[in-house]
Amino acid sequence: MNFEHAEITEQVAQTARDFARQRIMPYVMEWDEAQEFPLQVFKEMGELGLMGVLVPEQYGGAGLSYFEYVAIISEIAKVCGSIGLSLAAHNSLCTGHILAFGNEEQKRKYLPKLATAEWLGAWGLTEANTGSDAGNMGTTATRDGDFWVLNGTKNWITHGRSGDIAVVIARTGEPRSKNNATAFIVERGEQGFTGGKKENKLGMRASETAEMIFDNCRIPDSNRLGEVGDGFKQAMKVLDGGRISIAALSLGIAKGAFEAAVKYSKERQQFDQPIANFQGISFKLADMATEIAAAELLTNQAADLKNRGQKMTREAAMAKYYASEVAVRVATDAVQIFGGYGYTKDFPVEKFYRDSKLCTIGEGTSEIQKIVIAREEIGKQR
């Protein structure tokens, strides 16, 4: 495996880096404090091609690889995890689902609007009582001639209120039965489709997380993605790619916290010398750098397999699991290095600390990743 980045990867990373510094960094804490979702920023990223990174050019996207995608998410997350999270959810979940499982008519209708951020995407699988237990979801879709009637509520949905379009997985069979879910495209404005409660979160506060409510929402059968009953299978494949997104998001948060800690440790004087000179601090920095490097290798390994169209369920789960836990550890140590200042909102590490925790929960908890990894390993031994 050769993870040496091509020139295009570096160019795209620089574009994302410059945008983050100019259009995101000055407003990070303002958005965080107000829990403001800065929609205009995503429109601007759409103009740069960052909202359709993986979408082929024929559908209005940038047509780039997962290496570029990882670089973009990481660079944005180094400045603001919230913006990185929303960028990832739009690209890999809603857009990614239609790209992977939509028919030609659906791709031509929806992907150009998503790739340019004319429309913002949402993706609905999770419910209040069915997070990891998605096979027991309560949201149902009942066939009525050439239409489907959706009823239920999806929770913890990125862009649940602001998304112009959502891919929704609803139950079309009996609870816990095999192949009991189907995926649908639902446009905002459809009667019976509304946004619900917006969550008041610990971190990622500038990324909108809200309910999506369906009350006798009628959608045409032409908005069904794939075959009836394939929804959960589709979702699991989408989440494989989504886990690379969260690994990249975690990587960016870890790098942002690490760089802030290194800078501070070289500037902060105690006992007439920079605290970076003390073994207690330097060993922390060494551990942080090593774990970030390992997380990056795991993430690139999964991205490489994805680029080549090979199975990467195990590798994506490993990358997501390890990188998210590294983000938490690195952010925690960064706060410790800053001392009392790290506990204040005057310095960036407290936000990295708050944002990092979501990475161990969203798109499959660390515990779920361990289950996935174990199953893959045990399966190989048969």
**What is the rounded distance in angstroms from the CA atom of residue 32 to the CA atom of residue 82?**
8
- Owner of token pair 């050439």: 146
Paired tokens of 106: 């659906």
- For the chain, the distance separating the N- and C-terminal CA atoms, rounded to the nearest angstrom, is 26
**What is the rounded distance in angstroms from the CA atom of residue 331 to the CA atom of residue 353?**
5
Q: Give the DSSP H or E segment for 33.
A: helix 28-34
- Is 363 annotated in the active site? yes
Query: Pick the catalytic residue: 68, 315, 325, 363?
Result: 363
The neighbour count for residue 367, using CB atoms within 10 Å, is: 12
242 — alpha (psi -120 to 50), left (phi > 0) or beta? alpha
**What is the rounded distance in angstroms from the CA atom of residue 200 to the CA atom of residue 210?**
9
**Do residues 82 and 131 make contact, with C-beta atoms less than 8 angstroms apart?**
no
Helix-strand-coil percent breakdown of the chain, rounded to 5?
55, 15, 25
Which are the contacts of 347, defined by CB distance < 8 A and separation ≥ 6? Answer: 260, 264, 338, 341
Say if strands 140-144 and 193-198 run parallel, antiparallel, or are unpaired.
Answer: unpaired
Let me know the angle formed at the C-alpha of 322 by 317 and 324, rounded to the nearest 5 degrees: 95
The 3-state secondary structure of 244-286, one letter per residue:
HHHHHHHHHHHHHHHHHHHHHHHHCEECCEEHHHCHHHHHHHH
- Owner of token pair 């603001």: 80
Q: Give the DSSP H or E segment for 314.
A: helix 313-338
**What is the rounded distance in angstroms from the CA atom of residue 15 to the CA atom of residue 12?**
5
**What is the rounded distance in angstroms from the CA atom of residue 86 to the CA atom of residue 78?**
14
Nearest Cα residue to 231 out of 325, 123, 144: 123
21 in helix, strand or coil?
Answer: helix
Residues annotated as catalytic (active site), given as ranges: 363
